[in-house]
């Protein structure tokens, strides 16, 4: 069960290569609330997720954690699943997950359930380099279950997933939200999960 925390953004802006992608963006997510970020290519969806994960500095504004422990750092509460899967091709599926379970969280014994989350158990001892694109994506998403973290940052998570896996993903996000977690999902195609908040980026752009 993830700890219940809230995440709020106050007037944050993002600047890349001298161009303002978005500005004065604010949202407030209580526990169990999800945020769907939509927008055309280049609108700043990935940049917003990377800002929350602490990979990209905020050009203006600030992010606020509510209800977290005093010394909690925002990136350490986040699961970031980006465009790249972060998979070691010379490791087996199990070794990949075991590393992330050890590295990201302190909970032991999460690997078998993480393997099962997207049905990768039969492939556990298969070299990750031989997986298909969709299977690699599922392995990257299984990381969400290898360690318990309250904030999920998913960047186009449905890319290359087949229909049954997409259902699993939607159910996983739903369960996470019902368990008191937060999910920020960037996507330009519809996901069936219900999101409490929506942000459309790239409406009007300032030079």
Partner 1 sequence: MKAALALLARDVTLAWREGGAIGTAIGFYLVVVAITPLGLGPDLNLLARIAPGMLWIALLLAALLSADRIFHNDYEDGALDVLTTGPLPLPLVAAVKSLAHWLTTGVPLALLAPLLGLLLNLPVAAWPLLVLAMLVGTPAVSFVASIGASLTLGLRRSGLLLALLVLPLYVPVLIFGVATASAAITGPTSSWPPFLMLCALSLASIVLAPIAAAAALRTALR
Where does this chain bind partner 1 (CB under 8 A)?
50, 53-57, 75-76, 78-80, 82-91, 99-100, 102-104, 106, 143
In the bound state with partner 1, the residue whose beta carbon lies nearer, of 11 and 76, is: 76
Q: If residue 137 lies in a helix (H) or strand (E), which one and from where to where? A: helix 133-146
Shortest distance, position 33 Cβ to partner 1, whole Å: 21
Q: How many C-alpha atoms does 128 have within 13 Å on its Cβ side?
A: 20
The two three-digit tokens of residue 139, written as one number: 């392995």
In the bound state with partner 1, the residue whose beta carbon lies nearer, of 91 and 126, is: 91
In the bound state with partner 1, the residue whose beta carbon lies nearer, of 16 and 194, is: 16
> d(Cα 4, Cα 27) in Å, to the nearest integer?
17
In the bound state with partner 1, the residue whose beta carbon lies nearer, of 3 and 174, is: 3
Shortest distance, position 192 Cβ to partner 1, whole Å: 26
Shortest distance, position 84 Cβ to partner 1, whole Å: 3
| Alpha-carbon dihedral angle through residues 31, 37, 43, 45, given to the nearest 10 degrees | 60
The two three-digit tokens of residue 169, written as one number: 């993903």
> d(Cα 57, Cα 71) in Å, to the nearest integer?
20
Shortest distance, position 17 Cβ to partner 1, whole Å: 10
């Amino acid at each position: 069960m993830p700890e219940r925390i809230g995440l709020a953004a106050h007037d944050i802006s993002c600047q890349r290569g001298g161009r303002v992608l978005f500005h004065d963006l604010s949202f407030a997510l209580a526990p169990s609330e999800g945020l769907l970020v939509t927008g055309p290519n280049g609108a700043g969806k990935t940049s917003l997720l990377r800002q929350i994960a602490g990979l990209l500095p905020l050009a203006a504004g600030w992010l606020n954690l509510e209800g977290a422990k005093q010394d909690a750092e925002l990136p350490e509460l986040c699961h970031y699943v980006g465009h790249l899967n972060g998979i070691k091709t010379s490791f087996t599926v199990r070794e990949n997950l075991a590393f992330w379970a050890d590295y990201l969280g302190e909970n032991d014994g999460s690997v078998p359930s993480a393997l099962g989350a997207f049905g990768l158990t039969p492939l556990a001892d298969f070299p990750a380099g031989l997986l298909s694109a969709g299977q690699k994506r599922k392995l990257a998403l299984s990381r969400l279950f290898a360690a318990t973290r309250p904030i999920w940052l998913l960047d186009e998570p449905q890319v290359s997933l087949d229909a049954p896996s997409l259902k699993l993903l939607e159910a996983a996000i739903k369960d996470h939200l019902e368990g008191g977690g937060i999910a920020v999902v960037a996507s330009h195609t519809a996901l069936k999960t219900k999101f409490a908040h929506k942000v459309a980026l790239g409406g009007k752009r300032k030079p």
